[in-house]
Chains A and B, each alone.
Chain A
């Protein structure tokens, strides 16, 4: 009896020569019986912007949620800035301090003001003094363009403003990597631009970013690499130019033809 050899998975390796900040080797994850991530190999260099695209249910959100252990993976190795992700709580918290995350639904804390939202973690986790934390918070609020909203509550802000606060909140912790999980999907069309603008500036300043998004304009403009996922696999990897002009795989072509 012959067994068919396991197909060799597509690797999304960072270009050689750079300093590796994230390494994912042979990542597999199941939700119950459902095999949601299959043999994922991926690495990211410092300062790189990696855009992950794919149809919904393809596992792209789950992938970046594994990086800061919001989801538990069953097989494989994840290394963030030299720290190997294990089940140890201290180890997980260490990685979470180095990775900022921005969610689709903002997830600001509604009972705290904008300033308190931002300073909570620096004060409680980094043990900064309140004045120091507030100074940094105001710096980043300035940066995302809404310094005047510091004392308001999230419910008083528009969606675009809330998402910018969420970005400032993540940045104030001084992360080495930023993970964006469909940051513009829940926004009204007229405010998507203001959030993307913040992200573009962040990329230009050299922040390492992994962005799950449907914003192809963003991918084309600032992405160093685009990773296309489908049904838990990495299907194709390449530069934005390659992707939007000459995709190889049929699945990629099919997906792009639907959304472009």
Chain B
């Protein structure tokens, strides 16, 4: 079993700890749950739409329980995707799968490429039995803002902080047109209750944790400083989020 260095809470000027001890115990329990209780592998596959050469998919799923099929309209050339995943060339508006073939679908930084986003979302919903996870990043932040994610029966939207508001609106409009259920009142903050083995949140957290670990040391170091400063600001503002705290903790552990 791997032993991690105990995470010391950031210290405010003057020496007073920013993070309450009870809060830290809460985070530590979450990390332990995530790190030590790997779930059994879910049999049904996940669909990755717009997989490209598979490099991003490989980065975010390395060693994770996620497995499935990547599709892209373009010929992928040399497939660099993760072991255990298949890749096919297909049109996202006419997917070559039966209804409900997949447990869930991922679409990472794809939305801006879609000519008919509503039709594509509708087709993805047809072949998917679970939620569609739409992630748009700003290419800088690695984590999505889970406290602003919208979770409906059919769709999860998640963004990093820099994703433009216009894009968020377009995704919402296309989702509505496609008949997907999203609810603005269902705001999700990932917590111990939502981290159920085999759940999508669990798998994605696990995947992104590994993505962080395999990132280059240079990028990690730069982002570590940025995030640490951001964490401090968030704490000072009283808007501290578990996710930011978690990212910093994982980075600290990874650099030990």
Q: Do A and B come from one complex?
A: no
A: residues with CB less than 8 A from B are: none
B: residues with CB less than 8 A from A are: none
